[in-house]
């Protein structure tokens, strides 16, 4: 009886445990199914993708970045002082009547507060009336104050208050390779055109073909064209270091060349312009003769006793030459010991001295060699004197 009761209790306990385990299992299975039901769809479609950056795309702020350079600053400083020079040429008489003279154009740069400006002599040559056009297009009349053919410089005065005045730099300090800027009006139409290059060389000498040399010239590869003549050559400090005067398009043998421009050094410009403003002329020494240069070819053609020098064709009355005893037919071979040859033309050698100075001339007269002393006079220079 007791044993049967024990077995009955044990059976109840076992059944109860089994029921608990079965319930737990069933509960766990239900939870698993619920979780699986909720998570499975996301798990099946999920892909790991890095989040895209949310930074604002970079946009270059053109309106806030300064683009000023030494070149642009120099141009802004000098540009308003650069002008276009217009010269009215005289009318001509032809078989068909009077032909209008037309105009020639070049460039110039204002150098004083009262409106004086410098340009090239060949820009104003033969002009009868003049005007200048500012960078902003305004045009004003101008008066020629003086010119000098040997330096190829001239000074005009504009009839208006200048918008700006350029300053000069020291041309003696220029070095090859230094950046320079040419400003002018090529062809007369493209006002204040800016070109950039370098100093190619200094101290260049150019034969004008008129019996004298242009000396101490600045060579540059900055583009210079017809109409740029008289415009400034500017350094990066915004200073005028030269006045553009000519270009070479052909070299020896007829070869076409590029990038050969030349400017008159600013130190020369200041000296010449100062005299033109003050006196209207440049004080030059003179002898008072007409002459012809002697070269080895001419000496052979005319069987002359020397290969270099100048042949005196005429002596002016009352001139320093007449007072010194020079005569037509004399050959001046040396001046103060300097041989008058292709490297030392008569005009350039003469201009090394000032009016009033005394020089010694080595003169060949027939079979004689003489030394004459002459005190140089002062004259408005012309190539035939």
Determine the Cα–Cα distance for residues 101 and 104; give it in Å rounded to an integer: 9
Phi and psi (nearest 5°) for 164? -165, 160
Q: At a CB cut-off of 8 Å and minimum separation 6, what does 159 contact?
A: 115, 140, 141, 142, 143
Q: Is 135 strand, coil or helix?
A: coil
pLDDT of residue 226: 86
The two three-digit tokens of residue 191, written as one number: 């006002």
pLDDT of the residue at 139: 95
Check: CB of residue 217 under 8 Å from CB of residue 201.
Answer: no
Report pLDDT for 69.
Answer: 87
- Rounded Cα distance, 355 and 375, in Å: 8
User: Exactly one of 121, 152, 330, 341 is catalytic; which is it?
Assistant: 152
To the query of whether residue 122 is one of the catalytic residues in this protein, the response is yes
**Structure-token pair, residue 282:** 């440049």
| pLDDT per residue as tens, the chain (385 positions) | 444 554 454 444 444 444 444 443 344 433 334 334 443 343 344 444 454 555 555 555 555 444 568 999 999 999 999 999 999 998 877 777 777 878 889 999 999 999 999 999 999 999 999 999 999 999 999 999 999 999 999 999 998 999 999 999 999 999 999 999 999 998 878 888 999 999 999 999 988 888 889 999 999 999 988 889 999 999 999 999 999 999 887 666 666 767 889 999 999 999 999 999 998 988 889 899 999 999 999 999 999 999 999 999 999 999 999 999 999 999 999 999 999 998 899 999 999 999 899 999 999 999 999 999 999 998 764 444 4
**What is the model's pTM?**
0.74
Question: How many Cα atoms are found within 13 Å in the side-chain-facing hemisphere of 218?
Answer: 36
Q: Does the annotation count 152 as an active-site position?
A: yes
**pLDDT at residue number 56:** 59
CA distance 290 to 332: 12
CB of 186 within 8 A of CB of 225?
yes
In the set 104, 107, 121, 122, the catalytic residue is 122
- Tokens 């040559």 identify what position? 125
**Cα(13)–Cα(11) distance, rounded to whole angstroms?**
5
Looking at 229, 330, 341, 362, which residue is catalytic?
229
Residue 344 annotated in active site: no
């Amino acid at each position: 009886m007791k044993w049967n009761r024990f077995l009955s209790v044990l059976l109840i306990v076992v059944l109860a445990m089994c029921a608990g385990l079965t319930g737990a299992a069933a509960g766990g299975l239900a939870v698993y199914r619920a979780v699986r039901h909720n998570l499975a769809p996301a798990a099946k479609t999920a892909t790991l993708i890095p989040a895209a950056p949310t930074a604002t795309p970079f946009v270059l702020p053109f309106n806030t970045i300064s683009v000023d350079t030494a070149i642009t600053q120099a141009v802004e400083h000098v540009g308003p002082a650069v002008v276009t020079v217009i010269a009215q040429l005289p009318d001509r008489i032809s078989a068909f009547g009077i032909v209008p003279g037309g105009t020639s154009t070049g460039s110039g740069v204002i150098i004083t507060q009262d409106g004086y400006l410098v340009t090239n002599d060949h820009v104003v040559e033969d002009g009868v009336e003049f005007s200048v056009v500012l960078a902003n297009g305004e045009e004003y009349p101008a008066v020629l104050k003086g010119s000098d053919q040997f330096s190829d410089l001239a000074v005009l005065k504009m009839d208006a208050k200048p918008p700006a005045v350029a300053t000069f730099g020291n041309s003696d300090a220029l070095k090859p390779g230094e950046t320079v800027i040419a400003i002018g009006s090529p062809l007369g139409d493209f006002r204040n055109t800016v070109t950039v290059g370098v100093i190619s060389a200094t101290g260049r000498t150019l034969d004008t073909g008129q019996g004298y040399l242009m000396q101490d010239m600045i060579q540059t590869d900055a583009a210079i064209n017809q109409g740029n003549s008289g415009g400034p050559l500017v350094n990066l400090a915004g200073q005028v270091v030269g006045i553009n005067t000519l270009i070479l398009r052909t070299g020896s043998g007829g070869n076409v060349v590029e990038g050969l421009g030349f400017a008159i050094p600013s130190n020369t410009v200041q000296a010449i312009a100062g005299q033109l403003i003050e006196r209207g002329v440049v004080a030059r020494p003179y002898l008072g003769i007409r002459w012809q240069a002697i070269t080895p070819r001419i000496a052979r053609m005319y069987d002359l006793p020397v290969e270099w020098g100048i042949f005196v064709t005429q002596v002016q009355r009352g001139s320093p030459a007449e007072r010194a005893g020079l005569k037509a037919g004399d050959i001046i071979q040396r001046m103060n010991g300097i041989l008058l040859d292709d490297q030392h033309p008569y005009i350039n050698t003469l201009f090394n001295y000032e009016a009033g100075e005394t020089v010694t001339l080595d003169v060949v007269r027939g079979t004689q060699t003489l030394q004459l002393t002459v005190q140089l006079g002062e004259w408005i220079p012309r190539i035939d004197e």
